[in-house]
Amino acid sequence: MSGPNKSYDPVEVAPLKGEHVDEMVAAALAAFAAATTTSTLNEARIAHTGDRSPLALANREIGALPPQARKDAGQRIGKARGQVNKALAARRAEVEQAELEARLVAERVDVSLPDPGPMRGEVHPITGMIDLISDVFVGMGWEVAEGPELEAEWLNFDALNFPPGHPARELADTLVVEPVEANLVMRTHTSPVQVRSLLDRELPVYVVCPGKTYRADELDATHVPVFHQVEGLCVDKGITFADLRGTLDHFANAMFGDIRTRIRPNYFPFTEPSAEVDLECFVCHGDSVGDPHNPCRTCSSEGWIEWGGCGVVNPRVLAAAGIDTEVYSGFAFGMGIERTLMFRNNAADMRDMVEGDVRFSTSLHGLAR
């Protein structure tokens, strides 16, 4: 603010002259009239009535005038501000009314349109996959077996020939349920159902066991801490590795059509010999192997993708269930159901499988059947 203006000089306070004030009012009214939306009107409000507007600045000069001039200027500015505020309020009412009318038109609901019907749900793709896999095996005369997700450590590990210090028992992988002395774990695979089936059923045994399994993993695009496996177990007289291969090929063809499988040696305590089952890459069919111009993201140009584990049932597992290993032999396999869904239906992100968004389920409609 200016200091006291002892010798009143009208030039110094030009903004307070009548014609200047009239110009400010005219500019404000023109800006309000030009504003057609709440936001442009708001800008005009700040420019013409805000703290830094010409009228507000002029108002601040009043105090510097001698008494009579101060009274005149005060009245003039006061009147001008009143006029501007009134015009602003009137314009705001008009603009808001126009906006409301536009919105009502835009959001109009045509009640005469036909009802699109209720939105359809769909079984979850994992459930659909489990049904499909079960059907394949039931079609071959197998039975579907079930076991608990909270499992005895003995069945999850010991009866499957996991030695006491085996790394898979470590807390980092296995979710142990308190009290620790109860020796209960969230099952880390569906293989304990092998033992349960052998203890509960008459021989021969042909079962598949689909279900939830648990490992201490972080959720990301390729890992979920709660996932699904399908276990297969056959124990009969004269069963060999050839029966295992034939069964796996049939299973793979039922899932993926005409596709080749490959087995690679591996180790599992409960099967001997053991193998990893790979599927021919369903995207490049092996064409990307050794071809740097044609890389395949799905199989990292390996030509094969891992599907699960398998092997001939270790006689120690049969013996733990009281079965005569001279007469009976068998094979077992375990596949990831999420992986099967990823390969079969191109579901690239595992997180979609746990989020429960019905759009994911309906997007795979018909594919999992």
Binding site for ligand PHE (CB under 6 A): 189, 191, 231, 268, 271, 274, 308-311, 332-334
Paired residues of 22 in beta bridges = none
C-beta of residue 176 within 8 angstroms of C-beta of residue 151: no
Of residues 274 and 288, the one with the C-beta less far from ligand PHE: 274
Q: Which residues of 246-260 are buried (b: 16+ CB within 10 A; e: fewer)?
A: ebbeebbeebbeeeb
* Rounded distance between C-alpha atoms, residue 279 and residue 285, angstroms: 9
C-beta of residue 189 within 8 angstroms of C-beta of residue 229: yes
Q: What phi, psi does 56 have (nearest 5°)?
A: -70, -40
Minimum CB–partner distance for residue 289 and ligand PHE (Å): 26
Of residues 47 and 216, the one with the C-beta less far from ligand PHE: 216
Of residues 128 and 334, the one with the C-beta less far from ligand PHE: 334
Of residues 94 and 306, the one with the C-beta less far from ligand PHE: 306
How many beta carbons lie within 10 A of that of residue 278, not counting itself? 19
Q: Which one-letter DSSP state was computed for residue 321?
A: T
Minimum CB–partner distance for residue 357 and ligand PHE (Å): 28
Minimum CB–partner distance for residue 177 and ligand PHE (Å): 19
Of residues 128 and 269, the one with the C-beta less far from ligand PHE: 269
Residue nearest to ligand PHE (CB): 334
Minimum CB–partner distance for residue 206 and ligand PHE (Å): 14
Minimum CB–partner distance for residue 335 and ligand PHE (Å): 8
Tokens of 313: 């049932």
- Sheet containing strand 176-177, edge to edge, reads 150-152, 184-186, 176-177
